[in-house]
Chain A
């Protein structure tokens, strides 16, 4: 029988932390920041496997690290949000409750299992104004931070954060916020420390649009993303729809729940078909 060697708890924790940090540092980074119109989520991602997604009406999820692990956490979050929303009301689903569930889950995985999750996740909840936005950073070991305004995740988060810290402005418009995010992500990883210019196809971009009622998550891709990166603003209607649905031309209405009538009154414009 193999001999069990003694390792102190401190040593075990240190080893696990180091292992998780190394795993996270191998991947590309992501940034989340508040801007005047909502919360912008940008990840450097050349694949179609998503790092950013919708959890609920006003809550989004962004992650870096090992895909299978954060995908698992994302699904669990969607399940939790949908279950709470069905049991109580859509308004009772909060980013903080989700962040708490994630910290408990990641904390337990970190201390109880051989291999910690190599992930770092962000739960973003958009408010009525940038001051009311909530950004939670949850680390591989279950530690959680409430980061007002902006945050960067991934291997070189510190360097990226420095760029954001200097220039971040909650009253910036979407093109400026995106330009800053792209520049921050491009500030690391270049040859000989040179900054890189990231193009539309290297970025995965989404927003939580604070002006919308109901589901506020919108992906920005293709033509809309290219023109935004070129500092041109894009009409709201040309921003992508929530996941899966093709871009709508009229004002997209929130899905009204049979039990939450209040979301309906917030759908102002007439759609084309009733003209």
Chain B
């Protein structure tokens, strides 16, 4: 039985109050223990070393929308905790979310954010604006600040196709966050995580405004390759196990995860290109 339910089986009053269309606000009243950031943590300890960490995510604004890609590695100290973790997910039909930092908190944040967006859509019969979605996510990151101070930090990257953009040429938009819940809109491209310095350096040289989706996918995989080259916590294309980055797009047609075959083709091109010219 889910928490917050009345033993008589009838819906508790809090379910029937007109209240809010925000699912997290509803949960904070009906079942606060389900919210991340509401859990008491032991004082003074740093939990950072005991939980797997996810690393590099890149997002690129294209002529048609956005591309987001993430490597597959999760690390725990100097160990590889997972070789095939997925750190990029659809947030709803037109937006994408990637996470870097404590993997467990990040995945919980994604699940809750997905429910938050869908819940609003169902109760209101209208989708939140892209800025509205980004603001909700910022508030959720802010709620995790206490845990972040104790080493369980998570920072998302949010990107999506804006259905009502101020500038139609810039319908693909990217938002980054800091652990305190600060929200920043990025132009062109952005990367987060421990490999982000290298990924951003690669993108800085190669990104052009109005890049097509196909080229942006290639750029994203190249940037992840560069991040993996210099950052031990970022995994490169794993040719042995056939594990390649998760690449997703959000355009006017909605979100799409590239199939294994499509990503494999791009990753193999990138790897073979680097065989001839390691500097890219």
Contact = CB atoms under 8 A, between A and B. Distances in A.
Main secondary structure of the interface of B (DSSP, over half): mixed
A249 B111 contact: no
B16 A257 contact: no
Nearest to B107: A258
A245 to B, nearest CB: 5
Given A50-B125, A105-B11, A86 B257 contact: no
A165 interface: no
Contacts of B197: none
A109 to B, nearest CB: 9
B9 A101 contact: yes
Interface string A251-275: 0110111110000100100111110
B181 interface: no
Interface stretch (B44-52, B68-76, B115-123): B115-123
Nearest to B67: A273
B256 A273 contact: yes
A161 interface: no
A101 B2 contact: no
Interface stretch (B24-32, B143-151, B235-243, B270-278): B24-32
Contact of A258 (B16, B111, B256): B111
A83 B8 contact: no
A245 B91 CA distance: 14
Contacts of A246: 163
Contact of A252 (B11, B34, B93): B93
B68 to A, nearest CB: 13
Contact of A273 (B8, B9, B65, B92): B65
Interface string A226-256: 0000000000000001111110111011011
B115 A271 contact: no
Contacts of B112: 86
A48 B121 CA distance: 16
Contact of A253 (B30, B65, B90, B124): B90
A84 interface: yes
B125 A84 contact: no
A273 B4 contact: no
Interface stretch (B203-211, B224-232, B247-255): B247-255
Contacts of B184: none
B10 A255 contact: no
Contact of B262 (A54, A242, A274): A274
B11 A104 contact: yes
Interface range on chain A (Cβ under 8 Å from partner)? 35 or more
A152 to B, nearest CB: 24
A183 interface: no
A258 B110 contact: yes
Contacts of A248: 93, 253-254
A78 B18 CA distance: 12
Contacts, number: 141
A252 B90 CA distance: 12
Contacts of B122: 53-55, 78, 82, 243
Contact of A83 (B27, B86, B253, B262): B27
Contacts of A258: 86, 89, 107, 110-111, 114
A83 B249 contact: no
A114 interface: no
Nearest to B161: A273
A244 B126 contact: yes
A257 B86 CA distance: 11
Interface in B58-113: 64-65, 86, 89-94, 107, 110-112
Contacts of B125: 50, 53, 243-244
B215 to A, nearest CB: 13
A255 B114 contact: yes
Interface in A166-203: none
Interface string B135-169: 00000000000000000000000000001000000
A83 B4 contact: yes
Contact of B254 (A100, A107, A252): A252
Nearest to B255: A253
A257 B111 contact: yes
A80 interface: yes
Contacts of B180: none
B237 to A, nearest CB: 19
17 contacts: A73-B16, A75-B16, A76-B16, A79-B15, A82-B115, A83-B34, A86-B112, A105-B10, A107-B10, A108-B10, A249-B253, A253-B90, A253-B93, A256-B90, A258-B114, A271-B253, A274-B262
Interface of A: 50, 53-55, 72-73, 75-76, 78-80, 82-88, 100-102, 104-105, 107-108, 215, 241-246, 248-250, 252-253, 255-259, 264, 267, 270-274
Given A108-B8, A245-B94, 13 more contacts: A53-B125, A75-B16, A79-B119, A82-B118, A101-B10, A243-B125, A243-B127, A244-B126, A245-B121, A249-B252, A256-B89, A271-B256, A273-B64
Interface of B: 2-5, 8-11, 15-16, 18-19, 23, 26-27, 30-31, 34, 64-65, 86, 89-94, 107, 110-112, 114-115, 118-119, 121-127, 163, 213, 249, 251-259, 262
